[in-house]
Amino acid sequence: MKNFSVDKLALLSLLLLSAHPCFAGKIQCWVNDAGITECGNYTPPQYSQKGFVEYSKRGIKTKEVKRAPTQEEIAELERQEQEELKRQQQEKEDRQLLDIFSTERDIELARAAALNAIDGQIQYDQTIIEGLKGNLEDLEKSYEFSKKNPDVSEKQLSAIARNITSVKEDIREKKETLQRKHNERAETNKKYDAYLERYRDIMRRGGLPPMRIKNEK
């Protein structure tokens, strides 16, 4: 490959050089390590990552290849892309929130409705547990009385003992269910607290920007 160095004015000579047999096709120009522009029929590998400009045989610029980004620049671009994706996702979630709740009062009304539904389930479970406890107390009294009654067989006594075990298991399961409902109530409160904080943050920012409408081609 035949290379030559050029300055700003010498680039005009490309029109003349293109007539030379060595440069009958395309011409590429790049900057070497000394900061000097060189030209030839192809860019050396050691300079191709730094970018180059390609000219036609008439000296018309046909292509410009930018230098390859550094690792630091690539990392920064990736960071910016992640930030943009995060921003877009946040904006999407904020729009969904405002589609559901127009005011803070809407959020509090929805919270109250959700909590009331859970409270109804909690009250129901507590009533069931209290009933089971009453049954257990009656069974335990019956068991103690039956142990002292010679007319009660071992089979009957064993049946009462099994019922006591069964009721205790029912109480244990209902208490676990009740605890899950209390946990659900706490999580529901946290969820609506988060809705309220997000809503207030959106309002502090002056609302959301207009939606971008993609041009249909």
Q: What is the pLDDT at residue 15?
A: 44
pLDDT band at 60 (very low <50, low <70, confident <90, very high): confident
Tell me what the mean pLDDT of segment 153-160 comes to: 93
DSSP states of 134-168 as a string? HHHHHHHHHHHHHHH-TTS-HHHHHHHHHHHHHHH
Tens of pLDDT along 106-123?
999 999 999 999 999 999
End-to-end, the C-alpha distance of the chain in Å comes to 46
User: Would you kindly state where each structural domain of the chain is located, as residue ranges?
Assistant: 4-65, 69-100, 101-203
Q: Is the pLDDT of residue 94 over 60?
A: yes
The edge-to-edge listing of strands for the beta sheet with 52-55 is: 4-6, 37-40, 27-31, 52-55, 61-65
Q: From CA 132, how far away is CA 173, in angstroms rounded?
A: 11
CA distances from 92 to 23, 96, 155, 178, 190 (A): 56, 6, 67, 36, 21
Tens of pLDDT along 162-189?
999 999 999 999 999 999 999 999 999 9
**pTM to 2 decimals?**
0.60
